[in-house]
Chain A
Amino acid sequence: MKKNLMKILAAAGMAVLTMGALAGCGNSTTETTAAGTKAAETTAGTTQTTTAAATTTAKAAAELKGSISMVGSTSMEKLATALSEVFMEKYPGVTVQAEFVGSGAGIEAVTNGAADIGNASRNLKDEEKSKGIVENIVAIDGIAVVTDPSNKVENLTKDQLIAIYNGTTTSWKDLGGADQPIVVIGRESGSGTRSAFEELLKLEDKCKYSNELDSTGAVMAKVASTPGSIGYVSLDVLDKTVKTLKLENTDPTPENIKAGSYFLSRPFVMATKGDISKQNDNVKALFDYIHSDEGKELVKSVGLIPAN
């Protein structure tokens, strides 16, 4: 009997050892591969969130059929993608095709009839309007410049802001603040806020960032905790942990932005050839949707200010 017990113990021991060895092997492989799969997971994650947003607003379908083509600004990609997904969810008979090739190309496409809607992240030029293109502002993109709460500087001019971000001005002393170096914080390349900021200041790829953070929240946290820092964020996230600067003596409020007195903002235009009322039913439904409360919520959800 004792012998048998020993046998059992030995077998159990062997089993444990084998399991341990197996587990050991498993561990090392997952560790080395985790980094590789992470990339794929991130992409999957983003698509999932957008579709989730789409399903929540889905409602009964109307009897519309056909397609809408939308061509234009790359900056409007987030808005246009969200809009087309939610719209297609609501009207299953309609397909919205969105291409992102640039504002100018978008207006050109709508002018020569290649697209129903031309997306532009700027006001239309007079020559474009003279060709019968109507400027329908659907949203406004505003960016606030923030510093840490203890900063004494209240206001920056456009030139001062440019000088900070291209690395010419490196101390708050030169701007009337404390003798403190400026820690220039920005977003990663590919970020819509970053491209809008650099475009509006004509600083495309000339910015000298000391920190390139990958989310608005990270910028807020870093600015709040680092004395002498400056960063930019979209308007909807502003709170008391940071100090919001005036630009050219103007506060970044939705009112000022709509009035056009705050320069770090730009309109998102969905241009049509002729008034909206002259468009086909699909396009009319799309604009009705944007101007509805639900549409305004959508605009806000991608960090923009609804136009009216």
Chain B
Amino acid sequence: MQPKSYSIFGGHGSKSGIEHAAEVIFTICGFFAVLAVASISIYMLTSGTPALLKVGILDILFGSVWKPDAAVPSFGILYVILTSIVGTALAILIGVPIGVMTSVFLAEVAPQKLADIVRPAVELLAGIPSVIYGLLGILILNPVMYDLELKIFKGSPTHQFTGGANLISAVLVLALMILPTVINISETALRSVPQHFRSASLALGATKIQTIFHVVIPAAKSGIITAIVLGTGRAIGEAMAISLVSGSSVNFPLPFHSVRFLTTAIVSEMSYASGLHKQVLFTIGLVLFVFIMMINVILNSLLKKGADKNDK
């Protein structure tokens, strides 16, 4: 009896056809992303630059007065840019340690039963729409912040009370929002560290915690940096949640000031803006776009350097 033969290639007749079709489909898919990035880049450049030239690059980027509807309009977005930088940096500063620690807990420390509770929770966190974070911020964070504000600035003649809509609220919401990204990617990185690294370290007499901090985390460095890059991208690009909690007034980014981010600057005024005002909003979009590109390029090159070192 002839044994049946199985082949992943199937019949010879259709082989070349299928191969060819698959190749074409994959190529189209690949170029779709390229096309999207290229067309968005071109669109942002063409719609963002006219206002830059009309108002003046320095006036837009380094002006601190945002009065787009005044008789003599002024389009300075310095405070908006600073807010985005400071806000994102603080969110990373808070979110990344918590995220990395959580991933260490999940990958190294947690007993199976506990990990089974924490991991789905983290995954659910990633699935919650950003507007829900914003609503929770309004309902829970803002009142708490307002109480704090009332205590700290009691009787202050110069402080403008914001009702709790301030930079801290926005930063806390952002920190919470980047957690799932950071946790999931760092956990994968930690898990991919070979078991014999840990065994070697433990055999040399290191404690479990020493092993984690001196062996496992350094070995998973490139994965953790990826997590930070994606977290930064999420934080700087978030609009909906923080537009609800940050107060949206253009101010210098101090903790208890109501602030406006690059994203919320576009969202909040786009609906009624017209003429030059609208063009400037596109310019803000361009600035945001350049920011995200820069973060990606810089951090990716850092990442590559780190990875090269690890390979040696």
Closest Cβ of chain B to A135, distance in Å, is 26
Q: What 1/0 flags go to B124-164 for Cβ under 8 Å of A?
A: 00000000000000110011001000100100010011111
Closest Cβ of chain B to A169, distance in Å, is 12
Given A36-B40, A189-B69, A212-B247, also A42-B271 (CB < 8 A): yes
- Tell me the A1-53 residues at the B interface (CB within 8 Å): 1, 4-5, 7-8, 11, 22, 25-26, 28-29, 31-40, 42-43, 46
Bound CA span A1–B4, Å:
8
Beta-carbon contact of B37 and A208 below 8 Å? no
Beta-carbon contact of A189 and B67 below 8 Å? yes
- Asked if A213 is at the interface (CB within 8 A of a chain B CB), the reply is yes
Looking at the complex, which one of B150, B233, B248, B282 makes contact with A32 (CB distance below 8 Å)? B233
Given A39-B282, A190-B68, A211-B249, also A7-B8 (CB < 8 A): yes
- Asked if B165 is at the interface (CB within 8 A of a chain A CB), the reply is yes
Beta-carbon contact of B33 and A191 below 8 Å? no
Beta-carbon contact of B272 and A191 below 8 Å? yes
Q: What interface size band does chain B fall in?
A: 35 or more
Looking at the complex, which one of B138, B230, B268, B285 makes contact with A221 (CB distance below 8 Å)? B138
B72 (CB) vs chain A CBs: closest residue: A205
Given A189-B68, A190-B277, also A210-B143 (CB < 8 A): no
Closest Cβ of chain B to A188, distance in Å, is 5
Q: Note all chain B residues with C-beta closer than 8 A to A4.
A: 5-7
- Asked if B83 is at the interface (CB within 8 A of a chain A CB), the reply is no
Looking at the complex, which one of A8, A22, A28, A191 makes contact with B6 (CB distance below 8 Å)? A8
Q: Note all chain B residues with C-beta closer than 8 A to A190.
A: 68-69, 269, 271-274, 277
Beta-carbon contact of B288 and A28 below 8 Å? no
Given A214-B269, A214-B271, also A8-B8 (CB < 8 A): yes
Q: Note all chain A residues with C-beta closer than 8 A to B274.
A: 190
Bound CA span A37–B272, Å:
18
Q: Note all chain B residues with C-beta closer than 8 A to A28.
A: 230, 233
- Among A155-163, A223-231, A256-264, the one that faces the other chain is A223-231
- Tell me the B237-270 residues at the A interface (CB within 8 Å): 237, 239, 243-244, 247-250, 258, 260, 263, 266-270
Bound CA span A184–B248, Å:
12
A28 (CB) vs chain B CBs: closest residue: B230
Closest Cβ of chain B to A44, distance in Å, is 11
Bound CA span A245–B175, Å:
39
Beta-carbon contact of B239 and A192 below 8 Å? no
Q: Note all chain A residues with C-beta closer than 8 A to B29.
A: 22
Q: Note all chain B residues with C-beta closer than 8 A to A213.
A: 248, 268
Bound CA span A188–B146, Å:
22
Beta-carbon contact of B239 and A38 below 8 Å? yes
Most buried by A among B142, B249, B296: B249
Q: Note all chain B residues with C-beta closer than 8 A to A31.
A: 230, 233-234, 237
Bound CA span A31–B164, Å:
29
Q: Note all chain A residues with C-beta closer than 8 A to B139.
A: 225
Q: Note all chain B residues with C-beta closer than 8 A to A204.
A: 70-71
Given A210-B162, A226-B142, also A188-B248 (CB < 8 A): yes
Closest Cβ of chain A to B177, distance in Å, is 13
Most buried by A among B5, B153, B157, B160: B160
- Asked if B61 is at the interface (CB within 8 A of a chain A CB), the reply is no
Given A36-B40, A210-B160, A211-B165, also A225-B289 (CB < 8 A): no
Beta-carbon contact of B40 and A211 below 8 Å? no
A189 (CB) vs chain B CBs: closest residue: B69
Looking at the complex, which one of B67, B233, B260, B270 makes contact with A39 (CB distance below 8 Å)? B270
Q: What 1/0 flags go to B19-42 for Cβ under 8 Å of A?
A: 000000000011001001100100
Most buried by A among B40, B139, B250: B40
Q: Note all chain B residues with C-beta closer than 8 A to A227.
A: 146
Q: Note all chain B residues with C-beta closer than 8 A to A39.
A: 266, 270, 281-282, 285
Q: Note all chain A residues with C-beta closer than 8 A to B33.
A: 25-26, 29
Given A188-B269, A205-B69, also A1-B6 (CB < 8 A): yes
- Asked if A151 is at the interface (CB within 8 A of a chain B CB), the reply is no
Closest Cβ of chain B to A308, distance in Å, is 28
A residues in contact (CB < 8 Å) with B: 1, 4-5, 7-8, 11, 22, 25-26, 28-29, 31-40, 42-43, 46, 167, 170, 181-185, 188-192, 195, 204-205, 208-214, 218, 221-222, 225-229
21 of the cross-chain contacts (CB-CB < 8 Å) are A7-B7, A7-B8, A8-B6, A31-B233, A32-B293, A35-B237, A39-B266, A39-B282, A170-B161, A189-B67, A190-B269, A210-B160, A210-B162, A210-B165, A211-B247, A213-B268, A214-B243, A218-B244, A221-B138, A225-B139, A225-B143
